[in-house]
Structure 1
């Protein structure tokens, strides 16, 4: 029996949770724009997505800088051959390639700050450990540590017997992977090699280092986990049947991608395989993951979104006949660069709620293909 004098309590309206709306958009909605990166022939060799820029490097010697929405800002001209490596830090970009030079740019102005010379073959990988320190690895078998404040070479690391293919940096330590089948740990401050990581039977193509663990991927199909203090191999992870060319560490999880088309999710707590995803019909060309999802791109022309915890395929973001070169994402945005009908194109996906969309619906649509102003 209702008590007299009391009115029913009205139901409270709870506005949609922005976080859950973003998750929902990743799973089934979203909006995207399409850009043509360049009218020239060119293969995308590197992609970086930052809070300020989308930066794309190509094998035609050009570096294109766009704003976070994918609108063209400028092209950085200076390299005379293909650009094979680059790394951004706020407004600063370091780049290197076949002309054996490391160039330092201000992306805000488009001005080249300095040219760093010393390598005698292609610069294949680049990292920055702080705003004034860049590390380059080259096919000439050496690494060079550059002081960006003075433009001088602080150190030359000699020891590898073949091309330095990949780098990772954390604090004072740099880890390099080489076609000589070894990885090496170097101290920037001491200017010397601390450990040689031997065990792989073929070339190293990719490396990750989070300060606690080093992961290396090789043509021998294995992934090895190393202790950076002792240099000892802690475990060998076997699930791929071909080259392991992609890997990333996030927390206690490792995700790897191979030329066999598979993406593997590993626990670094018990060094065990959690999921083996049959992801692509050919090589996994790019991948990135966070605590919720994995984004993988392949030479089969597809980009797929996976649930990290369950391994479930959530959706395909992109499906064309040509290859996907690179993918990158942050919480509410994803960038895909690919070859489409002989053109280098870029898709920018947004998973945020449009400000005038009162019901939370995020509409899917394609803007007409646009040249980035090049």
Structure 2
């Protein structure tokens, strides 16, 4: 039996505010996505939990929607104009050789309904992102990356080169970075639809990538995090370590032994860096000097950390009384 436990945390002085446990049978949480209006948690049973929120606070009552008969593996979105959540649409990817990618939107009654399907991937879709109000990018176990026109419902381009499951994808402007089970990451030019660099060096599957325009970060099952130059494809790396590099010259500013084992998730916001690890820790660091500001939780393993405004959200697993719980925690105020 698996459960989703949602806890809202206020500040170090007044920690516990609210706890909710949602029965999820034996389902596994597969995706976490935050929009301006909603926190979306997807399950491999095809169910999507939707929580309303305001800047990571005022978490509303959950909406539970069965999106698919088979598993959901990724969620993306495009947010509407300021204050109008009806313009928000959601793109969902999942298991299967067909009908594995679809666009959903909110109707006049405030219900989430399927608008149309995107046909083309021949295996499970693992990652999807909205590039604009009319364009989506997706990556699949079929080894391809696809660019979609959602108004016409057609695939505009196919990016090929990986030889195994494309597990992760990130986009910054006209640059996309993909990571694969073939141990390689690739940098793509989304205007010319060509591969700029193949990033080789990892000794195992790549599970996470990030790009900020000049620098790429990749994380692998080989227990290393590598930092790459977008223009040259050169890298530096460390095992179980977080390193911060200056953009000019890519000289190392600082490094810390962030987690006992692999760093599973990491995100930079303002002057802070949040990290999660397979050691079950969530930690917040000062990005100027690498000083540990706070250790927020101890669990079995941390899957993902995300900033939303001045709030930090973490998705993790924790074993309790022979029950494996999937816990989503949110910290707000000053960290």
TM-score (norm. length: structure 2): 0.78
1:292 aligns with 2:281: no
Pair 302,37 (structure 1): closer, same or farther in 2 beyond 3 Å: farther
CA distance in 1, matches of 2:39, 2:15: 19
Q: Describe the superposition over 1:32-52 as per-residue Cα deviations: whole angstroms up to 9, x where unpaired.
A: 433324442333222222321
1:53 aligns with 38
2:229 aligns with 226
The residue correspondences of 1:207-356 to structure 2 (distance < 5 A) are 207-219=209-221, 221=224, 223-228=226-231, 232-233=232-233, 235-240=234-239, 260=240, 262-320=241-299, 322-340=300-318, 341=320, 342-351=324-333
What's the CA shift for 1:338? 2.5
In the alignment of these two chains, the number of paired residues is 303
CA distance in 2, matches of 1:304, 1:53: 24
Q: Secondary structure at the match of 2:169?
A: strand
CA distance in 2, matches of 1:45, 1:65: 14
What's the CA shift for 1:187? 4.5
Q: Structure 2 unaligned segments of length 5 or more: list them.
A: 1-9, 80-87
1:156 aligns with 158
Is contact 1:296–1:305 with CA below 8 Å preserved after alignment?
A: yes
Is contact 1:45–1:59 with CA below 8 Å preserved after alignment?
A: yes
Pair 151,37 (structure 1): closer, same or farther in 2 beyond 3 Å: farther
Is contact 1:303–1:317 with CA below 8 Å preserved after alignment?
A: yes
1:94 to 71, 87, 91: 91
Is contact 1:306–1:313 with CA below 8 Å preserved after alignment?
A: yes
Pair 115,213 (structure 1): closer, same or farther in 2 beyond 3 Å: same
CA distance in 1, matches of 2:215, 2:112: 37
Is contact 1:125–1:165 with CA below 8 Å preserved after alignment?
A: yes
> RMSD across aligned C-alpha pairs, in angstroms?
2.8
- Structure whose CA Rg is larger: 1
The residue correspondences of 1:66-81 to structure 2 (distance < 5 A) are 66-68=51-53, 69-81=58-70
CA distance in 1, matches of 2:213, 2:62: 35
Q: Structure 1 unaligned segments of length 5 or more: list them.
A: 1-24, 241-259, 353-361, 363-374
Q: Describe the superposition over 1:288-342 as per-residue Cα deviations: whole angstroms up to 9, x where unpaired.
A: 222321222233333222222232222222224x323222223432222223432
Which structure has greater strand proportion?
A: 2
